[in-house]
Structure 1
Amino acid sequence: MGGLLPLCAAALLLLLLAAGGAIPPPEEAARMARFVLHNCDWGALATLSAQEGLRGRPFANIFSLSDGPPGPFSGSGVPYLYLTDMEISVQDLEINSNASLTVSLAQTPYCKKHRYDPQNPLCAHIIFCGSIVKVNDSEAGLAKKALFSRHPEMESWPKDHNWFFAKFNITNIWVLDYFGGLKIVTPEEYYSVKP
């Protein structure tokens, strides 16, 4: 029964993305940003490396994320992550918590269905800038529900790795979902719309 829920959620996501009109129109950049984040299960997180030989250089890595359980209107807009200090990018973040996060509809069936290359602006992607912060105890339950509902294997990851819940604290948002260049969305606009 435990494996059935994630499969149902994935099927619902596929139906939403396949449905005509499910993608917000280009003139609604804040809604598009929320939509793309909510429909993505992972993103590329770029940090400034603290590693020997790479110090101060950009370093991008893939991380699983979630802003809430799958389904329409269940996203908070907050990108939650499940991290360990053993991970190389997390070691970078301990020195400098600033980062950027890119999520793209290329990871969903939408772009393939429409034959959009991941670099095509119509295959929408969002770039967030901000910082990674550990969530406090009052937010840990939300983060856990958001992440474990989409990434159930996380619950069985080795306990001795000292996993913790974190969130991407958004300060800047750029949306590329149409021709004509990036659109700037403020965090206030982003959090005030429904995905």
Structure 2
Amino acid sequence: MCKLVIASINMSKAIAILTGFLFALISLDSCAGYSAHGRPPRPITDAVLARQLVHQSNWAAVGSISHNEKTTDYPMVNVIAVDDSALNGSSTGRVHFLLADFDFTGADALHNNKVTFFFSEEQTGSCNKRGVNPMEPACPRIMISGRVHKLDTKIPEYNDYMEAFNKRHKHSKIWVEAHNFYLSELEIDNIYIVAYQGGPRTINAEDYYNAHL
């Protein structure tokens, strides 16, 4: 009788363990809709991934604090051409962009130069090709917050920065000549990254700039 009772108890424990295991598998699978394919294709640091996202992007979505009379104090979003390349095409991590005072971002920056730049891997179309929605963490994205800094045309690096920008954006010479656009750089304060698993994480500017692609 005792052996039967013990066997019964052991069987109950085994069933409970198996049930718990199966429930865990089901739960993981049900989360897959948001974190599907949630592992990077190869080991990579957040800082290196952030640098990759910036370097491969021709444009960024930019949020500023609006000073337009109809949207004062609301967030304003714009699309801006960007480039972080050296003359040889390698990544510098330095986010350069052209602004004009009549445009949303340029006008806002005159009053408050705090902005946030948004980059997503989907800007290359690769997430869609993998069947991943841009909202899913498996489609990496970063939000870089900082301040707009208008570059002095007299600094030694200015012509190199401008030439590298013109190589990527063929029409940018026209923007400068016809509409008084000026070259600016994002002075980075903080970077948030959402990539694969673990929720939003921060990257400090020093680690970002020191990362090697």
**Under a length normalisation based on structure 2, what TM-score does the superposition of the two structures give?**
0.75
Alignment partner, residue 165 of structure 1: 183
1:16-55 map, 5 Å: 25=43, 28-55=45-72
The answer to whether the 8 A contact 1:23-1:35 is kept is no
Alignment partner, residue 102 of structure 2: 86
Q: 1:117 aligns with which of 118, 123, 133?
A: 133
CA displacement 1:41-78 (0-9 Å, x = unmatched): 11011000001121111111110101016987x01101
The code of the aligned residue for 2:81 comes to: S
The alignment status of 1:144 with 2:181, answered yes or no, reads no
SS in 2 for 1:89: helix
- Assess, with a 3 A threshold, how the Cα gap between structure 1 residues 70 and 109 changes in structure 2: closer, same or farther: farther
Q: Per-residue deviation at 1:158? A: 6.2
1:184-195 map, 5 Å: 184-195=202-213
Cα distance in 2 between the residues matched to 1:126 and 1:141: 28
CA displacement 1:7-51 (0-9 Å, x = unmatched): xxxxxxxxxxxxxxx97635x000000010001111011000001
| C-alpha RMSD over aligned residues | 2.0
CA displacement 1:153-185 (0-9 Å, x = unmatched): 112236242111001110101111112211111
Q: Per-residue deviation at 1:112? A: 2.1
Cα distance in 2 between the residues matched to 1:24 and 1:35: 14
Unaligned runs of 5+ in 2: 1-39
The code of the aligned residue for 1:180 comes to: G
Cα distance in 2 between the residues matched to 1:70 and 1:36: 19
> For the pair shown, which has the larger CA radius of gyration, 1 or 2?
2
The code of the aligned residue for 2:203 comes to: V
**Structure whose residues are more often helix by fraction:** 2
SS in 1 for 2:85: coil
Cα distance in 1 between the residues matched to 2:51 and 2:80: 18
Alignment partner, residue 173 of structure 2: 155
**Under a length normalisation based on structure 1, what TM-score does the superposition of the two structures give?**
0.81
Cα distance in 1 between the residues matched to 2:125 and 2:135: 15
- Assess, with a 3 A threshold, how the Cα gap between structure 1 residues 52 and 24 changes in structure 2: closer, same or farther: farther
List 4+ stretches of structure 1 deviating above 3 A: 22-26, 69-72
1:52-131 map, 5 Å: 52-68=69-85, 74-131=90-147
Tell which has more relative contact order, 1 or 2 (C-alpha 8 A, sep 6+): 1
Cα distance in 1 between the residues matched to 2:41 and 2:55: 12
Alignment partner, residue 9 of structure 2: none
Cα distance in 1 between the residues matched to 2:41 and 2:103: 34
Q: Per-residue deviation at 1:110? A: 1.8
Cα distance in 1 between the residues matched to 2:47 and 2:170: 29
The answer to whether the 8 A contact 1:38-1:70 is kept is no
Unaligned runs of 5+ in 1: 1-21
Percent of residue pairs identical: 26
Cα distance in 1 between the residues matched to 2:164 and 2:43: 26
